[in-house]
Amino acid sequence: MNQVYESKHPLVRHKLTFLRQTDTGVRRFQELVWELSTLLAYEALADLALTGTSVTTPLTEAAGHLLADRVALVPILRAGLGMVDPIWSLIPDAQVGHIGLYRDEATLQPVEYYCKLPQASQVDVCLLLDPMLATGGSTTAACKILKGHGIQRIKFVGLIAAPEGIAQVHSAHPDVDIHVAVVDCCLNDRGYIVPGLGDAGDRLFGTLVDAAARIPEISESGPTLVLCGGSDALVTG
């Protein structure tokens, strides 16, 4: 219970560095979310059950394995959409549901505005997807919706989490494992994760308002991020 899995994989740490960088454009940001989602799903699904089978190779018969657990992917709209396709490409038989939530400005509580989920009888494991676990309000509400629908085995998969959000989710749903690339320091007074990466939805879908305020430096010592042909590269200027 209360399991938080913070990836230690070198590729995850490498790609997260570029994801955070202010000057990473929309297209590259989407690619990095795709790549990180794939790596995190690989780790989150390491305990899936298998069933035995056999296959015929060009030389002989060989033992094989097939997934026994049926997986559902459920993004929290809208930022969670960016994590669906990369994981779906790994598990093309997975069913995909959607949960839409907005925050009531009077009560500050999440309000459901859309929900379409697979039948609980067809789901053994559900990955709840959202790049950011900040206050934990939306994730906590989404877990409640899933359980109300009859889906009990839930794993949250995100990119960055704040300790406040983790505590909120586990206070209500101690049985939900949390898989993230990193657990950051804290939330600021606006509810953003620090150091974080800003608004993941805006950066995924190109709806940033204050693009002119971007800071090019990746650190005070002077290294800047250069993207060449879609590859990751850090150079010092």
Active site residues: 103, 107, 199, 202
Angle between helices 163-172 and 137-148 (to 10 degrees): 30
Q: Max CA-CA distance within the chain? A: 68
Instruction: Supply the DSSP symbol for 215.
Output: -
- How would you classify residue 109: left for phi > 0, otherwise alpha for psi between -120 and 50, otherwise beta? beta
Say how many CA atoms lie within 13 Å of 69 toward its Cβ: 16
Strands 182-183 and 154-157, by their bridges, are unpaired
